Chain A
């Protein structure tokens, strides 16, 4: 499960730290282990799915899987439209929750395919999703209450 890519992101996380400007900030917790992540999103231009993810900044306390997964989310989601980011997120979520039965698309998921091994360890799936679902929640909040897209805010 611990591919070198994961350990690299864990040791040198990309995009770490909380930055301005941002439209929404969320704090998610994994209640089984106490891992925490704070995620801010900065969106620009466009409406709805056409808005662009200008920044995903974060501060995280947690295991290598949750830290590295959030770092990879930063790499894959920033610079894309919300629509594209959610497609990537859906593909990522399907892979890590797929109990090994979902073949990941390397073109979409890039470095995130390293987390395919997490699917074999159901107890760690929440770790791999913590930062990603926080991003989803933050985007929903940034777009206002009527656009709430779900997510597990705790």
Chain B
């Protein structure tokens, strides 16, 4: 284990961090795999590992205060509700949102579906709340997304269009892995623009402000997939000006089973609920029900409590390090990986080749070696990467590749692990005979 040397830090103002100290908080990082090989975990884009502080927070809550939140009046119920709402408050502050703008969901996929189904519910049947009329979609309306989306920010919109008769349009991707902003599908007919804050494959960070400006100019709602940005860089949702955003707990050192939907308060008040039942009501009679104000309106049933507490602890952990420092560290690893991988013959980066407007997901292909075969050789050396289409099949199709290998970083990764990846790729090339030994 190595202490990262202090770096200039660029615009982050000299933010540095002690990787060895951080790694000591993650017990899993010290295990070995495949006959004693040290684990080199480069798959944080799929799910990140969790520090002791997160695990301890969940355990402490369950050992001392566990109860169903927002129901009951006993001591534990009060403590549990306070812990749950305190987590919401800290998570909201972490992304520059107000507390009532943060809805807890099962994961980010559910958060995006919540918006899509809410809009769908505003679009069908009779007796829709007049306030929800603003979300009504039908034939002639258009929903815009992008070719670089994760399936989670594509399929729900395909389905919403199918249910309502609206039409799906999308921004294409340029050969260098950027959104093609020249051929803009946003028109007066556009009602929703759903796009990623950072591609989970390419690492590309699209110009959010510009896309929000264009969407606003035609009165369209913006939905930001922030799954790959919130865990890795400072994000201020109010400053970005998006209408909705989604991110997941398990990619930001927190638990699985919890995600977050952010929505501007005025919109959450007007959006019809997705899941209905207990907790989300104001008044219920046999003939019908009225709903609680947001965020409760969108949290039907007993919620995931220890996961929310754990995510609160993850946010505290990241805040203590500082998101500028997290971003600077990952940027350094990404830059090194891009340079070293491109130095290998036959290796092609899928996505931007420099760290400009780009995060720490590095996808690549190796000429003559199927990604599955490459990952097998890497895995035998203890190196965990993702292979396949990473839930972004249309994007891979656009690049004319069947699948790719993706290394992705988080705050606990080291430069030595980047070197291990590069050496592993080299070994795979020798094994399959695509380069001379």
Show the binding face of A for B, using Cβ within 8 Å: 1-2, 7, 32-36, 61-65, 121, 124, 127
Contact = CB atoms under 8 A, between A and B. Distances in A.
Given A2-B431, A61-B402, A33 B376 contact: no
Contacts of B389: 33-34
A34 B370 contact: no
Given A33-B387, A34-B388, A34-B393, A124 B372 contact: yes
B376 A121 contact: yes
Nearest to A7: B432
Given A34-B388, A63-B370, 20 more contacts: A2-B373, A2-B431, A33-B372, A33-B402, A33-B403, A34-B389, A34-B393, A34-B396, A34-B403, A35-B402, A61-B402, A62-B370, A62-B372, A62-B402, A63-B372, A64-B370, A64-B373, A65-B373, A121-B376, A124-B372
A36 B396 CA distance: 14
A124 B371 CA distance: 12
A65 B402 contact: no
Contacts of B370: 62-64
20 contacts: A2-B376, A32-B388, A33-B371, A33-B372, A33-B388, A33-B402, A34-B388, A34-B396, A35-B403, A62-B372, A62-B402, A63-B370, A63-B371, A63-B373, A64-B370, A64-B432, A65-B372, A121-B376, A124-B376, A127-B372
A18 B402 CA distance: 21
B385 to A, nearest CB: 12
A116 B110 CA distance: 39
Nearest to B377: A2
Closest 5 CB pairs of A and B: A63-B370, A63-B372, A33-B388, A34-B402, A64-B373
Nearest to A67: B370
Contacts of A36: 402
Nearest to B393: A34
Nearest to B402: A34
Which residue among B372, B387, B402 has the maximum number of chain A CB atoms within 10 Å of its CB? B372
A76 B393 CA distance: 34
Contacts of B388: 32-34
Nearest to B380: A1
A131 B389 CA distance: 20
Nearest to B396: A34
A80 to B, nearest CB: 29
Contacts of B372: 33, 35, 62-63, 65, 124, 127
B424 to A, nearest CB: 15
B366 to A, nearest CB: 12
Interface in B418-437: 431-432
Contacts of B393: 34
A118 B403 CA distance: 20
A118 to B, nearest CB: 10
